[in-house]
Amino acid sequence: MKLLILYQKTGRGWGNRIARFISITAPESWKVKCQEMPALNLPVIDNPEAFIPENLSRADLLLVLVESTGLAQLIPDIAEEIQAEAVIAPVDFETGFPPGLQNQVKQQLAERKIALAIPEPFCSLTERGAQNKRLRQFAKFYGRPEFELDYQNQKLARVDVLRSSPCGGSPSVAEELEGDEIAEAARKSGLYHQYYPCKASVDIIHRSAYITEAAVKRARQRKENEDNEDLSEAR
């Protein structure tokens, strides 16, 4: 899969961190290119071609890390320019991509028959919710975190990341969890998620922390179910 990631040069550094993490950890079969964009705080809708970089690489999937409405307005034209089959435009803070503009972009991409996912927060993206092959390919590796746990004497001996949050927080959470009491794992994972730190806005960061907590709870339940099955077979 060919993936083009657009991120903006801002003081927050949210998009830059996501772009860097994905470009480093993406499957070898993917071809990932990152393109830095200016802040684009002014309206660009009347003259979008003036703000679209020349010679953008063709891509199957376009990931747009929106931190200002200017870049959000360019999504349909850029997607068409690079012949993308699908677009992911996550919302980790609403000021960059407010609901009204989201609806406008959805309509314009639908007219071009280009699939769109707007996960809020980004770490809520799942394969199940993706209606397009390219979106599912991406969500297999990045989106809602999935962990695998192994523990001894009620302490976590190993925490593996099966799917990471796109920001790269999941590997950090996994590393911090090792050695913790299994009974405290879910609660602590939410704290570790924020310590990374999560760069979502205040109104969204708690949701993203809950998503990580829920992932650890699922992993613990799976492990307990497997252990119970092993005991039943042994009998």
pLDDT of residue 203: 80
What's the distance, CA 175 to chain centroid? 19
Q: Name which of 19-23, 64-68, 108-112, 209-213 the model is least confident about.
A: 64-68
Q: What are the CA-CA distances from residue 207 to residues 100, 120, 125, 152, 234 (Å)?
A: 22, 9, 13, 30, 41
Q: Percent of the chain scored above 90 by pLDDT?
A: 70
Q: What pLDDT is stored for residue 192 in this prediction?
A: 95
Pull the structure tokens for residue 104.
């406008």
pLDDT, mean of residues 212-225: 94
First-to-last alpha carbon distance for the chain, in angstroms, is 47
Q: Token pair for residue 75?
A: 């999504």
- How many domains would you assign to the chain? 2
Quick one: average pLDDT of 98-124?
Answer: 96
Q: What's the rounded Cα separation, in Å, for the pair 144 and 149?
A: 16
Q: Are residues 180 and 108 in the same domain?
A: no
Q: Are 200 and 169 in contact (CB under 8 A)?
A: no
Residue 132 corresponds to which tokens in the numbers above?
């397009």
Rg (CA), the chain: 19
Is 77 exposed, middle or buried, given 0-12, 13-18 or 19+ CB atoms closer than 10 A? middle
The domain of 31 spans 2-139
The stretch 59-83 carries a mean pLDDT of 94
Is 161 found in the same domain as 220? yes
Look at residue 54 in the predicted model and tell me its pLDDT: 86
Q: Do residues 119 and 159 both lie within one domain?
A: no
* Claim to verify: residue 110 and residue 152 sit in the same structural domain: no
Q: pLDDT, tens digit, for every residue of 137-195?
A: 999 999 999 999 998 999 999 999 999 999 999 999 999 999 999 999 999 999 999 88
CATH number at residue 36: 3.40.50.720
Whether pTM > 0.85 for this model: the answer is yes
